[in-house]
Amino acid sequence: MYELCPETDDDTPEIEALMDLCFAPGRTALSSYRLRDGVPKVAPLCLCLRDETDAVVAAIRYWPVRVGERPVLLLGPVAVHPTAQGEGLGAFLMRESLARAGEMGWARVMLVGDAPYYGRFGFARLDGVVMPPPTNPDRVLGLELVSGAWVGVRGDVLREDSPDVRAALAEIEASVDLRQACIEVEAPNQH
């Protein structure tokens, strides 16, 4: 069994350590991090999985961004502890968080990553959507949670600068409800 929880401040140091373990040194120098700096994350979608020893074994995060004035969810990073990779935990977090994103009313999601992995969740290359350089355009992938949501959406990926949106996200992040939203889940047995 695992415990699935939205990330809270108490989880963050352990999740940061997991990210440091899973990604190359200097990950926060990536251009995608400049889109996240100073912007509250989409807290209900930032999920972590703890195992029976209460260790964080997998985590996923989301931030709001804008493309062509439209709100977009930026997925990532997602990381699974090296000792637990290939057991379906990454796929579980992807599917669970994307389902929750749809329930929250988000229409479109993007990420920068390997198409051979993310294609299985429906992500495909986004033409005309430009991440801050240096980013390989072949790794800029999108998913529609609402049919047609990416049609005609083009342009640079920008930080979410709306004070209203930031304030709303910060309020959700600080909510006590998040701390009480943990559920127990079975070990996934499929990718």
Ligand X SMILES: CC(C)(COP(=O)(O)OP(=O)(O)OC[C@H]1O[C@@H](n2cnc3c(N)ncnc32)[C@H](O)[C@@H]1OP(=O)(O)O)[C@@H](O)C(=O)NCCC(=O)NCCS
Query: For binding to ligand X (CB under 6 A), which residues are involved?
Result: 22-23, 76-80, 85-91, 113-114, 116-117, 191
Q: Coil, strand or helix: which one is 159?
A: strand
Q: Which one, 74 or 145, has the nearer CB to ligand X?
A: 74
Nearest approach in angstroms of CB 91 to ligand X is 3
Nearest approach in angstroms of CB 5 to ligand X is 18
Nearest approach in angstroms of CB 7 to ligand X is 16
Q: Coil, strand or helix: which one is 148?
A: coil
d(C-alpha 140, C-alpha 110), whole Å? 7
What residues contact residue 40 under an 8 Å CB cut-off, 6+ apart?
Answer: 166, 169, 170, 172, 173
Of 84, 17, 77, the C-alpha closest to 47 is 77
Nearest approach in angstroms of CB 95 to ligand X is 9
Residue nearest to ligand X (CB): 90
Nearest approach in angstroms of CB 115 to ligand X is 8
Q: Which one, 91 or 165, has the nearer CB to ligand X?
A: 91
> Rounded to whole angstroms, what are the CA distances from 140 to 119, 137, 144?
12, 5, 14
Q: Which one, 22 or 170, has the nearer CB to ligand X?
A: 22
Q: Which one, 78 or 169, has the nearer CB to ligand X?
A: 78
Q: What phi and psi, each to the nearest 5 degrees, are found at residue 184?
A: -90, 135
- DSSP assignment letter at 188: P
Q: Which one, 52 or 69, has the nearer CB to ligand X?
A: 52
